[in-house]
Amino acid sequence: TIAYLNGEFLPLADAKIPVLDRGFIFGDGIYEVIPVYHGKLFQAQEHLQRLENSLEKINLVNPYARATWLELINTLIAHNQGGSQIIYVQVTRGVAKRQHHFPENTTPTVLMTSSPFTEPNKVTEGYHVITRPDIRWLNCDIKSIALLGNVLLRQEAIANQAKETILIRDGYLTEGAATNVFVVLQGIVFTPPKNNLILPGITRDVLVKVLHDANIPCQETAVSEAQLRTADEIWLTSTSLEVAPITRLDNQIVGTGKVGAVWSTAWDLLQRYKQQILQA
């Protein structure tokens, strides 16, 4: 596959960065993950807005204007034969002598890669998740490349034959290790509000919008651990999962133990929205 590194398109295997890059040394950088369906970017403006927000929150000057980002990303998509792809974008504070404080006059490192994207199918069996305390920092709204907490938490899921680890902070649900979480209680859909404790997921926002437009009650309010444990349905959202049903939580059955009726509607609404956007 073809990658983009600091102004150049080149084979991924040839893309190299110096060991003193602050991304490597400190995890001093941010990233984005943007889906491409059959050659077309989905929610590109929203992803680029979040990229800009992440850069601003770490005081890193955006290396490119929005239009330049779009042009570079579309060129990368074309270089990789245009099908369904996941575009990974990373910006770090660049290469400098190792010292914690920001270096002066350092050029950010910009890396973009493409990997094949197999769109998820509408499943008939739900996934298993576990819960753990949210051990991460208090700036989870920044899409930081420093993901050690998320990595350790996701690994615990895998070690327990689960799809994801759902995180609890101070008695309330935050999100998954790499997903946002929705619950259904008595016909009402709940998802935690956007604040510093969660990543503002693009899929989360799309789902909130399509539910709202379909007059399905959906509230962006705090969800207690007790509510999570008594939910009729639990869903995960992310760019690669879209919206996925959960039927076991810490080895306890969720709701009926089957994929939920509200989830099925939400899945259909999301697919319809995707088709509308991608055809426009």
Closest CA to 36 of 1, 63, 65: 1
Q: For ligand PLP, which residue of 109, 114, 131, 203 counts as binding (CB under 6 A)?
A: 203
- In the bound complex, what is the minimum distance in angstroms from residue 204's beta carbon to ligand PLP? 6
Q: For ligand PLP, which residue of 29, 108, 126, 201 counts as binding (CB under 6 A)?
A: 201
**Region from 8-16, 118-126, 201-209, 226-234 binding ligand PLP, contact rule CB under 6 A:** 201-209
For ligand PLP, the closer CB: 177 or 254: 177
What span, in angstroms and rounded, lies between the C-alpha atoms of 179 and 244?
10
**Beta carbons within 8 Å of 218's beta carbon, 6+ residues apart:** 188, 189, 190, 191, 208, 211, 212
For ligand PLP, the closer CB: 95 or 207: 207
For ligand PLP, the closer CB: 144 or 247: 144
Question: Within a 10 A sphere around the Cβ of 258, how many other Cβ atoms?
Answer: 15
- In the bound complex, what is the minimum distance in angstroms from residue 219's beta carbon to ligand PLP? 19
Confirm whether 122 is a catalytic residue.
no
Specify whether the CB–CB gap between 180 and 198 falls below 8 A. Answer: yes
Span 5-34, contacts to ligand PLP by CB under 6 A = 33
For ligand PLP, the closer CB: 94 or 201: 201
Tell me the two tokens of residue 118.
């197999």
Answer yes or no whether residue 238 interacts with ligand PLP by CB under 6 A. Answer: yes
Residue count, binding to ligand PLP (CB under 6 A): 14
Q: For ligand PLP, which residue of 85, 92, 109, 239 counts as binding (CB under 6 A)?
A: 239
What span, in angstroms and rounded, lies between the C-alpha atoms of 271 and 247?
21
Specify whether the CB–CB gap between 12 and 113 falls below 8 A. Answer: yes
Answer yes or no whether residue 174 interacts with ligand PLP by CB under 6 A. Answer: no
What span, in angstroms and rounded, lies between the C-alpha atoms of 237 and 210?
13
> Which residue of the set 143, 163, 194, 274 is catalytic?
143
Strands 180-185 and 233-238: antiparallel
DSSP 96-122: --S-SSPPSS-PPEEEEEEEE--PPP-
Which residues are known to be catalytic? 143
Residue numbers of the site for ligand PLP (CB under 6 A)? 33, 150, 175, 178-180, 199, 201-204, 237-239
